[in-house]
Amino acid sequence: MTPKLYAKIKALADDPKCDPMTRAIALDQLRKHAPHTDQAIHPGLRTTPEFKKWRDANRKANPRKG
């Protein structure tokens, strides 16, 4: 989404005199295309305790050479 289009949609979403249906659509678009600011790790990329336990057991059983 270009900054110009984002500004237009934001103006529609912020306008109290705008049609309620149009405002709802504009707000939905803003939510979908808002800049991503969450820096949290994606749940699929987190290491689980079970995996850590398995990894540590494998490292202990098969130490790396070199």
pLDDT of residue 66: 55
Q: 């050479």: which residue's tokens? A: 65
**Closest CA relative to residue 28, chosen from 18, 38, 13:** 13
Helix or strand or coil: residue 28?
helix
Assigned token pair, 47: 């290491």
Distance between CA 22 and CA 13 in Å, rounded? Answer: 8
pLDDT of residue 52: 93
Domain ranges of the chain: 3-61
pLDDT of 9 > 80? The answer is: yes
- The string of pLDDT tens digits covering residues 12-62 is 999 999 899 999 999 999 888 776 666 677 777 888 899 999 999 999 999
pLDDT of residue 48: 87
pLDDT of residue 36: 62
